[in-house]
């Protein structure tokens, strides 16, 4: 039975104003069941206010073999981070 059900990636928004975050994956026969399963599997302890589900096959991921050309060049360019400014205490989440 399980083998026939496609896999879905589950994204939960923990409270209004925040982004949906990937929390895991589960099996379901369609999107509606995926939402209900996600509600039962990932939101039992008051974790969320909104659920997105995406069938895993619809996600295109970057190739781990490409990670050097993809990500390495960013590492030594500290000037791309705003680390040279003095931030006032009032500015949060930087």
Partner 1 sequence: MANQQDLYQYLLRLGDNALILGQRLGEWCGHGPVLEQDIALTNIALDLIGQTRSWYQYAAEVEGKGRNEDEIAHFRDAIDFYNVLLVEQPNEDWAYTITRQFLFDAFNYYLHLELCDSKDAQVAAIANKSIKEITYHLKYSSEWMIRLGDGTEESHGKMQQAVDDLYMYAGEMTEPDELDQRMAATGVGADLQAIRPKYFEKVNEIMDRATLTLPENQYFQQGGKKGRHTEYLGFILADLQFMQRTYPGLEW
> Which residues in this chain contact partner 1 in the complex, by CB under 8 A?
1-2, 5, 26-29, 32-33, 36-37, 40-41, 44
Nearest approach in angstroms of CB 46 to partner 1 is 13
Nearer to partner 1, 33 or 54 (CB): 33
Nearer to partner 1, 41 or 87 (CB): 41
Nearest approach in angstroms of CB 25 to partner 1 is 11
Nearest approach in angstroms of CB 26 to partner 1 is 5
Cross-strand pairs, 25? 9
Cross-strand pairs, 51? 12
- In angstroms, what is the C-alpha Rg of the chain? 19
């Amino acid at each position: 039975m399980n083998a026939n059900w496609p896999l879905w990636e589950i994204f939960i928004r923990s409270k209004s104003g925040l982004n949906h975050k990937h929390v895991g994956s589960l099996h379901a026969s369609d999107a509606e069941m995926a939402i209900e399963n996600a509600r039962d599997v990932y939101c039992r302890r008051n974790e969320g206010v909104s659920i997105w589900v995406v069938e895993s096959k619809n996600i295109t991921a970057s190739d781990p073999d490409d990670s050097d050309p993809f990500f390495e060049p960013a590492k030594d360019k500290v000037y791309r981070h705003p680390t040279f400014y003095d931030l006032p205490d009032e500015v949060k989440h930087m």
